[in-house]
Amino acid sequence: MKAKFYAGVATLALFAGGAFAQDLIIAPGTDGFNWDSYEEFSSAHDFSGETISVTGPWLQPDAGMLRNVLAYFEEATGATVNYSGSDSFEQDIVIAVQANSAPNIAVFPQPGLASDMAAIGALSPLGQETADWMVENYAAGQSWVDLGSFANADGEQEMFGFFYKVDVKSLVWYSPEQFDEMGYDIPETLEDLKALSAQIVEDGGTPWCIGLGSGAATGWPATDWVEDMMLRLHEPEVYDGWITNEVAFNDPRVVEAIEAFGEFVRTDGWAQGGAEASATTDFRDSPAGLFQIPPACYMHKQASFIPSFFPEGAEFGIDFDFFYFPASSERDLGEPVLGAGTQFAITNDSPATRGLIEFLKAPIAHEIWMAQSGFLTPHTGVNLDTFGDDSLRAMNEILLNATTFRFDASDVMPGEIGAGAFWTGMVDYTTQGDAQAAADAIQSRWDAMR
């Protein structure tokens, strides 16, 4: 059944969701939330008795938070939505498609697998109307359309993926207390960031905590540095060509980006312990220097998840803060943002399934997760005041200010490159300092795959 919403008081009892208003985690009508978008959607959709299956990579607590959002779709339409998460999603969805038992919707954490599914006809296109909506309603909207568009079984490009819940990687973490004590300002350009790094060394400190260690995945943090540098030194089209190897890995523009990373990790005194220590320090341990007194280092570049590895009890805005990894004032490339994200794709079409995609366009579908935890969105129509976490609100502002968004390149490249040669090549470069040699070695791996 459908229900109309009336003013109420918020409740944070995190029910898994259900078909009745009293089970919704935010009381209907609570100030600040876009209930108009809910009412508009509810009045236009009735899927009473329909069941939709959704499969994705999220386990608890994210699975529970998604179900809290889906409860509003259920309440609005009368449908039932069953979500199942798996830590082997990538394998499971392939098996399900091959067995002709695919769910209605699959939530893909990486574009590569979605592209593979589209190429064999396993995904249903979302249509030009959805692509146009995304351009109009998402910051850097065309970037999201491009990321969700793949070749279909006939080789023609269509939009298949609707991005919902994203992550930001273009962040620099620091201690506001230590910055204030030393009189350091937040750098607004890449050139200012380099000048600040040099100033910290001149003042007797170490500007950067860098750790590339990650067990068998050692080297991946360096790939994020290079990817951010590619977006700050060259046009997005160069980045896109680099991912597919239309721009060779040993192209001078790529070598330039590698060397730009090297300026931070290999310049004497810039990285805690030097390049050798950076190459072996575990990325989870590397930000610890921010919290020492005096600090062992003043800045740490890492994605939005890194506070999980900060000391217990560390408080945002007091013990740590972050700023946007700034763009170059010399290249005039806007404010690019590197990140990752999940996209909803239809693997078993139905009217109710299409309705769920439409629901994800409504601001309320984003604000309900924003009020919980661990959610960022490029939707420009949401009320940022509904965030339950000040740090996430600040990150989302960075995302909304992006002029270009690009997905983590190493996650999109073939696994042998992005999760292999690129990782090891950046460790070799960090310790040996020859960017051209590292780039040549990675390109030779590309060539061997042809």
Tell me the fold of 171-337+408-448.
Answer: D-Maltodextrin-Binding Protein; domain 2 (3.40.190)
Chain centroid, CA 3 distance in Å: 34
What is the per-residue pLDDT across 135-191, written as a single tens digit (0 to 9) for each?
A: 999 999 999 999 999 999 999 999 999 999 999 999 999 999 999 999 999 999 999
The confidence score (pLDDT) of residue 316 equals 94
Cα dihedral value 48, 53, 59, 65, nearest 10: -20
What is the per-residue pLDDT across 392-422, written as a single tens digit (0 to 9) for each?
A: 999 999 999 999 999 999 999 998 999 999 9
What is the per-residue pLDDT across 294-350, written as a single tens digit (0 to 9) for each?
A: 999 999 999 999 999 999 999 999 999 999 999 999 999 999 999 999 999 999 999
184 CB neighbour count, 10 Å cutoff: 19
| Pair 121, 153: CB distance under 8 Å | yes
The confidence score (pLDDT) of residue 441 equals 98
d(CA 396, CA 377): 7
What is the per-residue pLDDT across 214-239, written as a single tens digit (0 to 9) for each?
A: 999 999 999 999 999 999 999 999 99
The 3-class SS string of the chain reads CCCCCCCCCCCCCCCCCCCCHHHCCCCCCCCCCCHHHHHHHHHHCCCCCCEEEEEECCCCCHHHHHHHHHHHHHHHHCCEEEEEECCCHHHHHHHHHHCCCCCCEEEECCHHHHHHHHHCCCCECCCHHHHHHHHHHECCHHHHHHHCEEECCCCCEEECCEEEEEEECCEEEECHHHHHHHCCCCCCCHHHHHHHHHHHHHCCCCCECCCCECHHHCCHHHHHHHHHHHHHHCCHHHHHHHHHCCCCCCCHHHHHHHHHHHHHHHCCCCECCHHHHHHHCECCCHHHHHHCCCCCCCEEECCCCHHHHCCCCCCECCCEEEEECCCCCCCCCCCEEEEEEEEEEECCCCHHHHHHHHHCCCHHHHHHHHCCCCCCCCECCCCHHHCCCHHHHHHHHHHHCCCEEEECHHHHCCHHHHHHHHHHHHHHHHHHCCHHHHHHHHHHHHHHCC
Chain centroid, CA 9 distance in Å: 32
Closest CA to 366 of 353, 352, 354, 378: 378
What is the per-residue pLDDT across 50-102, written as a single tens digit (0 to 9) for each?
A: 999 999 999 999 999 999 999 999 999 999 999 999 989 989 999 999 999 99
Kindly indicate whether the domain formed by 21-167+339-407 is annotated with CATH number 3.30.930.10: no
Closest CA to 15 of 85, 79, 53, 72: 72
With cut-offs at 50, 70 and 90, classify the pLDDT of residue 9: very low
Domain borders along the chain are 21-167+339-407, 171-337+408-448
Task: Report which residue type is found at 316.
Answer: F
d(CA 170, CA 301): 8
Q: Do domains 21-167+339-407 and 171-337+408-448 have the same CATH topology?
A: yes
